[in-house]
Chains A and B, each alone.
Chain A
C-alpha cells in the first residue's frame, strides 16, 4: 500500500485514540535498517545479540496469484526446484550445507509470496548468503530432476489435501467465491496443471520473477550491520539487474452482485457449513476493524462463535471464522463442522446470525478492549524469535511497501472504535456479498 494512505490512517487513528485510553501493554519497537542494492535487491538488517545465531529470510514477490490458468501450482513447484542445484551447489546440497552446520532451512509458498529461509549459528552468515545468491543467479534445471520433483509435489498434494478429512475445505470455498482472480485456485495447484508444467515454464518463471528487484533479503540476529552489508554486497551485488520489469497484470475480481448458495458432497465424516463475504486488502483502513471483528468472533473460548455454536448450543464440533487479510481483496469466512444429531441448516443460521449481529449492534466496550488486548498479545509473542521478527519486517516491505508498518500498525489497532467495527460490518457483511456453502458427507441423510 502507498505511504500517503498510511499517514492518513494513522492521523485518523490518533484522533480517535483521544477518546479511549488503551490498557494493552506496549511492545518495544523493532530496531532495523533498510537499504537497496544497485541491482534492485531490498536489504533489511536487524541486530539481536542475545543468542549467537542468524536468521535469513529471502522473499520473492511471487505467489500462486501470479499464475496463469492452466499453470496452477507453478509457484510452489518452482519453490521445490530451487533446491535442485545451481552453478556451485549440487542438487539437494543446499539443505545439507545448512544442516551440517546445525542450521535449519526451508521454504514456503503462499498466494502472494515465495519465501526461503535459513537459521544457523552466526558465524555461517557468509555461507547462507552465498547459497541464496547462487540459486538466485544460476539455478540449474534438468529434465529428470524436474520430473521427479513434480511427482514429489503430487504426493504433497495427496498428503495435505486429498487424503485428509476436510483437506479440501479451503479449496472448495475459494473455488466457489472467486470467478477470475487467481485466489480462486489453491497454491498447490491441480494435478492436471502440475502434469502439464514443462521445463520451459521453469526457465521462464525464474527469469521473470527470481530477479533482485523482486526480492527482499532480511537478516535478523547476531551480526554487525556494517560487516553484514558488506557480505550481502559481496554475494548479491554481482547478481545482474533484471532486463525487464516484473509483470503485475493480475485480473481483478468483479464485485459480487447477489448472494450465492451452494451445496456440495465430499467424503468427509461430518457436514461443514461456510458463510463467506468478500472483503478488502491488507493495509486498507477497513482491514484493521475487520481484524478486530475476527478476534471478537473467534479468538478464545469467550469469543462469540465458540461460546454460541460450540459451548452453549453445541451445534458444532468446531467453529471459527475471521478475515483472510492479504495483498489483494480476499474473504472473511466462518466455518462450522456440524456435530452428529445437529443440522447444517441450524449451523448456517447461527453463523449468519453472528455476522448480522455486528451490523445490528455495536460491539461492547469490553469486547473491543479484549480484542485489542489479544491483538497486543499476538503482536508481542510473535516477535520473540529472529524468524518471527524477520517475517514482520519482510511482510511490511513486500506487502505494504512500507517498512514502518512493521511497528506502526500497533497504534492503528489501538485506535479502532466500536463504530469502526460496525461500519465495516455494514460495508462487507451484506447479503448480496455473501456465499453460503454446505458440504455434506456423501450419502448424508437428515437426522444422521
Chain B
C-alpha cells in the first residue's frame, strides 16, 4: 500500500525520495554572502572557536563486493549476492523488453503486460497469488520501463522456494485473462486521467515526445488515453511469447542464502524454460535536435514546470563518463550551476537539476525545475544561458574536482546493501558493459580532465537546438517569452493535448486528420567517423594499385562506360521507400531530383499525408517538415554530403580521374563468394567506400561504408543494389536495400526514372 506512505512523505516534507531537490542542495563555497553582517542566532555560545574542518581518519580500502554469475544452458543469466545480516532474500528478474518493443499504436502495452503478470497464471488466480505472497509476508511487484520489464519478489528466507516458484510462474505462465485485462485497463484509464492533471507528468511526457519524436522513447510507458483502448489480449500474449524467454532475461538473487543453493533452486524452476531466438530489434535513431518551444497551458497552475534539453547518447557510449561529469557540473552533485543560479542566488525555485538519462538505444540531456508562474521567462533565460556557457567555456578545474570527488567518494555508498550491489551488476550486464567496469569505477572517473569535458560539450551539446517545455498558466508569462529570445513558440491547451500528433493538438471530431499515429521520418544523425581513428595500414603496393584500377575500370565498363556516365547531368526518380522501425515500417513515396555532381532534393510523402523535403546543394542542407523549413543540423548535413559523394556516378568518375585511390579488398563473408571488392579512399575528409562487383557482370551490387551510430562506435552500413536496368546506355539499380549490422533499415524500389530531364535550380533554394 504505497498511497499512504506517499501522503505521509508529503506531510513530513521529506525530500529524500523521488525528485530529490534537497539532495542536491548545494552551491560552491566561493559565493561570498555578506556573512560579515550576519548576527549569530544564539548568544548561548559566544566563545565558539574559529576553526578549519578537521582532517579525516585513515581511510579503509574498499573493493566491489563479491558476487557470482552463472548462465544456465537455456541462456538465463543468474547473479547471486550473499548477505546474511537479515533473514530475507530478494529476487529480481529483468526481461529485455519494454516500451521500445511495442508495436505501432500500442503505447502502454509493455506496462499493461507487466501489470498483468501477477494477475493470474496457469496455476493460480490473481487473488490466490495475492493471498499467497501476502500471507508469507512477502512482496511481489512488476513493472515495465523503456527497455525492460521487471518482476521483484521479496521473501523471508524460510519462503525462498515459494517465492522463486511465484517468480517463475509470473514470468513464464501468465494467462492474461480478459476480465483481468479490463480491470487493469480501467486502472490505467483512471490513472491517466489523474496524470493529465499533473504538470510534472505532462512536462516530462511532452519533453520526451519533443526530444525523441516518434522513436519508441517518445511516447510515455504508461501509454496514452487513445493507445490504451486498442490493446488486445492477443497483443499481450504475442508480446509475452516473443520476449519472455530465458536467453532474453537476467535474474538476481540476493540475501540470506549461499550462491550454490540459489543457482540450484533457480535451475529447478527455470531449467526447463525453452530457449527461443528473438530477432534483434532495428531501432532507428531519434530525430536530430531542433529548437522548439511548447507551452502547455494550464490556467489554474500556480507554478510552471520547466524542462529544457535535447537528445543525447545511449548508455553504451564511450563518452558516457565525461558527459555524466559535465551534467553534474551543470546541475548535479558537486558544482550544480543551475541550483546555484536559480535557488541559492535568486530563490526562484525549490530545486533545479540537470539530468543525463541514458537508455539502451538513446538518451537525453534534461534540465528541470519549477518556478512561480511570473518568473517563468527569467528561469528559461537563465537555464538556456547556462547551457550556452557550459558548451562554450571550459569548466573550472575546481568544479570538475568537486564532481569527480563526489562520484569517486560515493562509491562505498553505492554498495551498502546487497540489493544495491545486485543493481550495479544487473546494470552492467543489461547494457552489455565490461564487468571489470564495476572494479574500475574510480579510475574511470579520475581519468577525465577539463579538456575531455570541453570536447564532449562541443561534440554533444547544442544550446541552439534546445527543446523547451513549459507547463503552466500561459497568460502569466507567454507574452514575455519574446523578451527573453523566444519569439517562436507553440501553445497547446492542456485539454487539447495529444501526444500522438505532430503539433500536440487533438483533432476535434469531424477533423480531417489521420487520427491513428503521425510518423515523422526518423533520420540517422551520425557524427562523422573520426579519420584519425582509422586503422593505419601499410601503403598499397604497385601491384595492388594496378589491380584496384582494373577493378574500377571493370565497374565503369559494366555501368555503361565513362563517356555515358559523364553524359549524365541530372536524374529524376520516383520510388517507394520503406523505412523499417521497431514499431513497424513506414512507407513513403519519394521523388528524387539530382543535379550532378553535388545537388539533390528528396521529397517524401508520409502515410499521414505530411510531406518532408530534404535538400543538399554544394555544402548547404535544409529540411522542410511539418514544423516548417529549417537548416539541417550539421551531422545531418555531413551525412547528406557523404551520400552525394557515394553516388556511384560521380564516385566512379572521380576514381577514373585518379582522384581516389583504389585498392582491392579480400572478400571473406559467405555471401561475398561471387564478388570482388575494391576500396576507394581520398584523404581524411572523406570516409572510404568499398564497392563489391559481381564477378560475372562487373556490376556494383553492394556499397559498404562506416557510419557512426548513436552507440558511438562507427558501424558498417551496406547498400545492396539489384534490379539493374539500362537507361540511355547507363545501368541503373532499381532496387536498393540499406542494412546496418544485420538489420534492414530501408528498402527503396524505383517506379519511374529519367535521366537528363531539365531540373529547376529553384528546387534547391531554401524558401
Contact = CB atoms under 8 A, between A and B. Distances in A.
Q: Do A and B bind each other?
A: yes
Interface of A: 24-28, 50-53, 76, 83, 85, 87-88, 90-93, 95-97, 99-111, 119-127, 130-131, 134, 137-142, 144-145, 147-156, 158-167, 169-170, 186-188, 202-203, 206-207, 210-211, 222, 238-240, 242-243, 267-270, 298-303, 306-307, 310-311, 314, 317-322, 324, 335, 337, 339-340, 366, 369-370, 372-377, 380-381, 383-386
Given A111-B11, A130-B51, A140-B40, A122 B303 contact: no
8 contacts: A100-B402, A100-B409, A106-B16, A139-B41, A159-B370, A270-B190, A311-B127, A376-B137
A317 B191 contact: yes
B33 A97 contact: no
A374 B134 contact: yes
Contacts of B402: 96, 99-100
Interface of B: 1, 3-4, 7-8, 10-16, 20, 22-23, 25-29, 31-35, 37-45, 48-60, 62, 85-88, 126-127, 130-131, 133-139, 154, 156-158, 183, 186-187, 189-191, 193-194, 196-200, 300-303, 305, 333-334, 343-344, 346-350, 370-372, 402, 405-413, 415-419
Given A100-B406, A121-B412, 10 more contacts: A28-B86, A90-B33, A93-B29, A96-B27, A100-B334, A109-B13, A138-B40, A187-B11, A207-B41, A385-B417
A361 B127 CA distance: 22
Lowest 9 CB-CB distances: which A-B pairs, in order? A102-B409, A373-B137, A151-B347, A301-B130, A102-B410, A317-B190, A300-B134, A148-B347, A126-B54
A111 B12 contact: yes
A139 B38 CA distance: 10
A87 B50 contact: yes
Contacts of A123: 56-60
B13 to A, nearest CB: 5
Nearest to A147: B347
Contacts of B11: 110-111, 170, 186-187
B464 to A, nearest CB: 29
B25 A95 contact: yes
A91 B347 CA distance: 14
A110 B10 CA distance: 10
Contacts of A300: 1, 130, 133-134
Contacts of A302: 127, 130-131, 134-135
B13 A370 contact: no
B34 A142 contact: yes
B409 A97 contact: no
Nearest to A298: B1
A87 B87 contact: no
Contacts of A301: 126-127, 130, 134
Contacts of B48: 87, 134, 137-138, 238
B190 A384 contact: no
Given A109-B12, A155-B349, A317-B190, A299 B1 contact: yes
Nearest to A174: B11
A28 B87 CA distance: 8
B131 A103 contact: no
Contact of A122 (B39, B44, B60): B60
Given A106-B23, A314-B186, A318-B3, A202 B41 contact: yes
B12 A110 contact: yes
Contacts of B22: 106-108
Contacts of B28: 96
A384 B417 contact: yes
Nearest to A138: B48
A95 B190 CA distance: 40
B433 to A, nearest CB: 22
Given A97-B53, A267-B300, A269-B197, A373 B136 contact: yes
A339 B182 CA distance: 14
Contact of A92 (B25, B85, B137): B25
A222 B60 contact: yes
A141 B344 contact: no
A376 B156 CA distance: 9
A370 to B, nearest CB: 5
A211 B370 CA distance: 35
Contacts of A121: 59, 62, 409, 412-413
A222 B302 CA distance: 46
A168 to B, nearest CB: 10
Contact of A27 (B8, B14, B87, B139): B87
Nearest to A297: B1
Nearest to B410: A102
B299 to A, nearest CB: 10
Contacts of B49: 238
Contacts of A53: 412-413, 416
Contacts of A383: 86
Contacts of A207: 41-44
Given A104-B23, A109-B13, A300-B130, A142 B1 contact: no
A377 B130 contact: no
A192 B186 CA distance: 41
Nearest to B157: A25
Nearest to B401: A100
A125 B55 CA distance: 10
Contacts of A164: 198-200
B11 to A, nearest CB: 5
Contact of A239 (B45, B137, B348): B45
Given A123-B57, A140-B40, A206-B41, A103 B410 contact: yes
Given A126-B54, A317-B191, A158 B4 contact: no
A110 B11 CA distance: 7
A322 B189 CA distance: 26
Contact of B370 (A102, A110, A149, A163): A163
B70 to A, nearest CB: 24
B558 to A, nearest CB: 65
Contacts of B139: 377
A102 B406 contact: yes
Contacts of B302: 158, 162-163
Contacts of A202: 41
Contact of B350 (A152, A211, A267, A320): A152
A337 B37 CA distance: 52
Nearest to A310: B187
A96 B28 CA distance: 7
Contacts of B411: 102
A88 B408 contact: no
Nearest to A82: B41
Nearest to A221: B416
A331 B303 CA distance: 31
A96 B53 contact: no
A396 to B, nearest CB: 18
A155 B370 contact: yes
Given A28-B85, A100-B409, A203 B41 contact: yes
A155 B86 contact: no
A112 B25 CA distance: 23
B722 to A, nearest CB: 56
B14 to A, nearest CB: 4
A49 to B, nearest CB: 9
Nearest to B471: A163
Contacts of B418: 384
A102 B413 contact: yes
A381 B88 contact: yes
Contact of A163 (B52, B87, B303, B349): B303
A157 to B, nearest CB: 9
A270 B193 contact: yes
B350 A270 contact: no
Contacts of A25: 87-88, 156-158
A373 B131 CA distance: 12
Contact of B87 (A160, A211, A374, A380): A380
A151 B131 CA distance: 49
A108 B17 CA distance: 11
A277 to B, nearest CB: 15
Contacts of B156: 24-25, 373, 376-377, 380
